Each structure stands twice: as C-alpha cells, then as structure tokens.
C-alpha cells in the first residue's frame, strides 16, 4: 500500500478502545496489601540553595524498600507528609532518623504514595530526563532498529513514564501524577534527545484513574502520522500511534516472535489474540503453510490483513471472534497454536478467577492442537508466577496429553527486568510440545466426550470462563 494512502487512513479512537494487556504501569497495586493509614500531616521543609523542597518521612519498611533498590513507597509507609501539598509534586524522601533516601514525587490519592526518581540529590528537570533517556538507550545499545521501547517505567528508573519510538515519531505515556506534572521537562528532553517529527502523549490508560488523573490523547509536538509504518525485525507493521493498544504496538513480544522461524516452517498455525498479527505474520514470513488470526477487535484484524499485504504474505485467514468461543466451536486442528491473551489477573484479588480463565483457555487450546503439536503460550499477568503458569498447563492437560517443556520465555530486552523490582518481570512464556493421549488422527477425540477430569475442581463440566469478558467487551 502506498505511503500516502496509509497516511490518509484514520482509525476511530474507539478502534482499539481500552488497551487490555497488562504492562507494569497498569498494575500499581502489586504484591502488597493495600492499606491506607491516615496520619496527621506533619509539615517538613528544607532550605536548599534558596529553594524549598518539601519532605516526606517514611517508616522503616519504606526505607528498606528504597535501600533494597525498589522505587515505590506505599501510603502506609509514609509517616510524615507535607500539609496542603499538591499531588504529584517533588519531595525529598527521608527515613525516620532523618536519613536522605532520594528525590521523588508524592501523590496522596495513590496507594503508591511516593515514587523515587533519583537516589541522589538532583534537579528533576529536562537535563535529568535527558540523562535517564541516554542511560536507557545505552542499556539497549545496538539491539534495536528504528522502533522500540526507549523507556520502560521502573526498569529504566523513571516510574510512571513510558517512551516508545516509532521510527521518527515518539509516543509517551505519563502514568502517574508525578510524571504528569513534569510533562514539560519530559517533552523537552524527548525533543532534544531524538529531534522527532512528532510527539504524542497517549495518556488514555485506565491506570491513570488510580492516580486521580484524566485520560486524554494529546499531540505535544509536530503532526503525528497515524497509522504509520514501522519496521520490527524482518517485517513492516502498520501502527495506529493515536489509538492502538497501549501506544500502538506490543514491543515486549518482538524477540519471541522471531522464534516462529525455528518452529513454524511448513506448519499450520493458529494465532489466537493476534492483535495486528505480530506472531502469525512472522510465522508466514518464516514459511508457515497457513495462519489463522483470531481477535475480538475488528480494527486490529483489518490492520492485521493490511500488514500481511504490506509484507507480501499470503496464507492468512482472519477471524473476528472471542478466542474462547473460537476454540470451542471450531473443529480444525493446528500444528502450532500461539496464545497471547490480555492479562486475566489485573490484581491480587483476581488470582483465582484469572487462573480458572487460563486453565479453561489451555484446555480448549490443547484440544485443537495436532498430535505432537507446539503450543506457544504467554501470560502478561504479573500475578501469575512462572511456576504457577506451568501448573496451569499441567492442570489443563489432565488426562488429555503429555506436555514437554521446550523452552521458557520472557519479555524483550527493551523491557528490562530489574531484579530489585520484581514487578518489572511480568511476561512469561512457554514453548510446549504436546503429545495427545488416546485418539489417533481422524478418530475423534477421546477427551471431548468427557472432560477428562481434573485435579483442581475442573472435572466433569465445561467451565466457561467469564472473568476476562469485561476486558474482551472493552476491546470488541
């Protein structure tokens, strides 16, 4: 498709409404029990070179958290905070005994009350952000082309800030009140660092509500061309930078998609939860016989089809459907199935319900896999632990199949994992080789007559998962 035609196309904002796949900044209440203790405000101030910076005093736990390398302080760890302080303002962070811990932002509305921006005394200005961006680029040096995630929030020491580069255009997410207030310096630093043709603030993430922030999309500089073509790996992708999920593209899977080369040549592939075709198009490019793309979003599928054309790839079938229903209603078998769903577990409270969803999905997928087929399965839920994810597949396969672990996968290197911040490690993937028990090809499936039973209360009934439907509905 000629470039000028692409430029003139516009998707409506609702096209990809409510991005659903979990990313770290959308999961702010992770791993700790939320608990707000209202302490009478204590006013602290510090004179520094004629400028006053307010202080927050944190308890021992908060102090330990910062010393250990984490960047969050929860509201119940704040002992003293500035009175009448504007949410999102800069504060000096002190321990109970007065120890200087760093500079951060404070938000009375958020359970993560303080986010550390610097462990040293530093002016938080354009130069600070430019330095952090420079560090992030060094961390990714030589690994990526023109389009990738430049800054991934906590794992680049900029909690609440995401910067994605789409060739010459930049898409930012300011996910916290602190980052929102620092918008001017951030935009200036991005301009200086990249001289982009345009910058858009994709501040439409639902997680902003938890920070008391409005949702909006704003072109902060230049004129965004959207959809626009980017190159990732061997392929070109159309990306809707103004209205696609997140900022338009899932860069966290860019390295896993390349594995299609090893496993897909000559095979039939099902790319379930395909979005704009990341996995399936790689499979076609590397020689898959055919790929069925399934997604609830019609706009994502339209773009998927256009992406296939853009790369001259044939053999794609595009199905708009709920993924669970598709697996239930189709009888076709596939040599390779890719499951890359949105997060089913958005908070700790939803773990059980979410797990049921994952088990249900895997049960259905295993039934549609050819004998000796391969399953690529992912969970982007931080709350789904790696070992539990294996359990999910084990439970789903009960009485039905023998499952071999071929490889464990994680997120791409432009989403760094910082060991001191466990929440930065969120994407889990498994490549599994599945040997079906019982039925031979063409003889029908033993496991479909009975559910096969299950060790954790899944026996005997078709459990229709309803958990992620609110997510699906948002996306349909």
Residues with catalytic function = 380
Contact 348, 29 (CB under 8 A): yes
* Residue 297 binds to ligand SAH (criterion: CB under 6 A): yes
- Taking the least distance from each CB to ligand SAH, the nearer of 274 and 379 is 274
Given 72, 106, 250, 263, the residue binding ligand SAH (CB under 6 A) = 250
Please give the residues from 19 up to 58 whose contact with ligand SAH meets the rule CB under 6 A: 20-21
- Taking the least distance from each CB to ligand SAH, the nearer of 227 and 342 is 342
- Taking the least distance from each CB to ligand SAH, the nearer of 28 and 277 is 277
- Taking the least distance from each CB to ligand SAH, the nearer of 342 and 429 is 342
State the Rg of the chain over Cα: 24
- Taking the least distance from each CB to ligand SAH, the nearer of 294 and 430 is 294
- In whole angstroms, how close is the CB of 253 to ligand SAH at the nearest point? 5
Cα–Cα distance for residue pair 226/92, rounded to 1 Å: 40
Q: Which residues of 321-352 are buried (b: 16+ CB within 10 A; e: fewer)?
A: bbbbebbeebeebbbbbbbbbbbbbbbeebbe
- In whole angstroms, how close is the CB of 363 to ligand SAH at the nearest point? 15
Please give the residues from 452 up to 471 whose contact with ligand SAH meets the rule CB under 6 A: 468, 471
* Residue 92 binds to ligand SAH (criterion: CB under 6 A): no
Q: Cα dist. 128→18, 40, 184, 185, 458 in Å?
A: 32, 33, 12, 9, 53
Per CB under 6 A, which region of 77-85, 129-137, 199-207, 335-343 contacts ligand SAH? Answer: 335-343
Contact 19, 246 (CB under 8 A): yes
Cα–Cα distance for residue pair 345/202, rounded to 1 Å: 23
- Taking the least distance from each CB to ligand SAH, the nearer of 107 and 377 is 377
Cα–Cα distance for residue pair 326/472, rounded to 1 Å: 13
Contact 155, 417 (CB under 8 A): yes
* Residue 205 binds to ligand SAH (criterion: CB under 6 A): no
- In whole angstroms, how close is the CB of 272 to ligand SAH at the nearest point? 7
- In whole angstroms, how close is the CB of 314 to ligand SAH at the nearest point? 20
- In whole angstroms, how close is the CB of 304 to ligand SAH at the nearest point? 9
Cα–Cα distance for residue pair 365/376, rounded to 1 Å: 10
Given 129, 251, 279, 344, the residue binding ligand SAH (CB under 6 A) = 279
* Residue 340 binds to ligand SAH (criterion: CB under 6 A): yes
Contact 230, 239 (CB under 8 A): yes
* Residue 366 binds to ligand SAH (criterion: CB under 6 A): no
Contact 54, 82 (CB under 8 A): yes
* Residue 278 binds to ligand SAH (criterion: CB under 6 A): yes
Q: Which residues contact 112 (CB under 8 A, 6 or more apart)?
A: 28, 29, 72, 73, 74, 75
Find the residue with minimal CB distance to ligand SAH.
278
* Short-list 173, 168, 180, 142, CA closest to 156: 173
Cα–Cα distance for residue pair 153/205, rounded to 1 Å: 14
Given 59, 164, 210, 295, the residue binding ligand SAH (CB under 6 A) = 295
Cα 461 to chain centroid, rounded = 32
Per CB under 6 A, which region of 50-58, 67-75, 293-301, 400-408 contacts ligand SAH? Answer: 293-301
Per CB under 6 A, which region of 49-57, 207-215, 288-296, 406-414 contacts ligand SAH? Answer: 288-296
- In whole angstroms, how close is the CB of 293 to ligand SAH at the nearest point? 9
Three-class DSSP category at 391: helix
Cα–Cα distance for residue pair 220/182, rounded to 1 Å: 13
* Residue 323 binds to ligand SAH (criterion: CB under 6 A): yes
Please give the residues from 256 up to 275 whose contact with ligand SAH meets the rule CB under 6 A: 273-275
- In whole angstroms, how close is the CB of 15 to ligand SAH at the nearest point? 10
Cα–Cα distance for residue pair 362/246, rounded to 1 Å: 26
Hey, which residues does 451 pair with through a beta bridge? none
* Residue 342 binds to ligand SAH (criterion: CB under 6 A): yes
Please give the residues from 385 up to 404 whose contact with ligand SAH meets the rule CB under 6 A: none
* Short-list 468, 166, 476, CA closest to 299: 476
* Residue 296 binds to ligand SAH (criterion: CB under 6 A): yes
Number of H helices, E strands in the chain: 14, 21
Question: Which DSSP string do the residues of 429-459 spell out, in sequence order?
Answer: EEEEEEEE-SPPTTS--HHHHS----TTS-T
Cα 280 to chain centroid, rounded = 19
Cα–Cα distance for residue pair 107/270, rounded to 1 Å: 44
* Residue 475 binds to ligand SAH (criterion: CB under 6 A): yes
- Taking the least distance from each CB to ligand SAH, the nearer of 458 and 475 is 475
- In whole angstroms, how close is the CB of 376 to ligand SAH at the nearest point? 10
Q: Which residues bind ligand SAH (CB under 6 A)?
A: 20-21, 250, 253, 273-276, 278-279, 294-297, 300, 322-323, 340-342, 468, 471-472, 475
């Amino acid at each position: 498709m000629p470039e000028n035609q692409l430029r003139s196309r516009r998707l409506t904002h609702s096209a990809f409404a409510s991005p659903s796949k979990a990313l770290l900044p959308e999961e702010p209440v992770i791993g700790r029990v939320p608990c707000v203790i209202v302490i009478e405000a204590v006013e602290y101030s510090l004179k520094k070179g004629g400028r006053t910076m307010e202080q927050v005093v944190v308890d021992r736990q908060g102090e330990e958290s910062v010393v250990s390398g984490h960047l969050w302080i929860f509201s119940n760890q704040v002992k003293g905070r500035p009175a009448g302080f504007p949410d999102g303002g800069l504060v000096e962070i002190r321990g109970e005994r007065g120890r200087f811990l760093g500079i951060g932002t404070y938000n009375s509305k958020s359970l993560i009350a303080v986010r550390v921006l610097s462990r040293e005394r530093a002016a938080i200005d354009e130069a600070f952000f430019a330095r952090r961006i420079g560090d992030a680029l060094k961390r990714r040096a030589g690994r990526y082309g023109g389009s990738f995630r430049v800054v991934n929030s906590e794992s680049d020491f900029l909690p609440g800030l995401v910067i994605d580069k789409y060739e010459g255009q930049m898409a930012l997410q300011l996910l916290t009140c602190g980052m929102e207030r620092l918008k001017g310096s951030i935009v200036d630093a991005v301009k200086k660092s990249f001289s982009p043709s345009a910058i858009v603030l994709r501040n439409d993430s639902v997680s902003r509500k938890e920070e008391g922030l409005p949702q909006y999309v704003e072109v902060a500089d230049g004129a965004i061309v959207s959809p626009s073509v980017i190159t990732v790996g061997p392929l070109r992708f159309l990306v809707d930078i103004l209205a696609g999920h997140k900022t338009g593209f899932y860069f966290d899977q860019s390295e896993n998609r390349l594995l299609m080369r090893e496993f897909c040549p000559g095979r039939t592939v099902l790319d379930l939860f395909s979005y704009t075709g990341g996995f399936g198009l790689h499979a076609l490019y590397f020689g898959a016989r055919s790929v069925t793309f399934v997604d609830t979003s019609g706009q994502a599928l339209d773009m998927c089809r256009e992406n296939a054309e853009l790369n001259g790839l044939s053999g794609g079938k595009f199905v708009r459907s709920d993924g669970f229903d598709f697996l239930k209603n189709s009888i076709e078998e596939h040599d390779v199935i890719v499951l890359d769903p949105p997060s089913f577990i958005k908070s700790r409270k939803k773990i059980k319900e979410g797990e049921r969803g994952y088990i249900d999905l895997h049960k259905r997928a295993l039934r549609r896999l050819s004998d000796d087929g391969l399953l690529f399965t992912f969970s982007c839920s931080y709350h789904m632990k790696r070992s539990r994810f294996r359990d999910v597949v084990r439970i789903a396969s009960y009485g039905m199949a023998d499952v071999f672990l071929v490889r464990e996968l994680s997120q791409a290197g432009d989403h760094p994992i910082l060991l001191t911040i466990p929440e930065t490690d969120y994407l889990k993937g498994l490549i599994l080789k599945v040997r079906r028990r019982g039925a031979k090809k063409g003889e029908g499936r033993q496991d479909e007559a009975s559910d096969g039973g299950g060790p954790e209360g899944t026996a005997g009934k078709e459990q229709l998962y309803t958990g992620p439907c609110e997510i699906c509905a948002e996306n349909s």
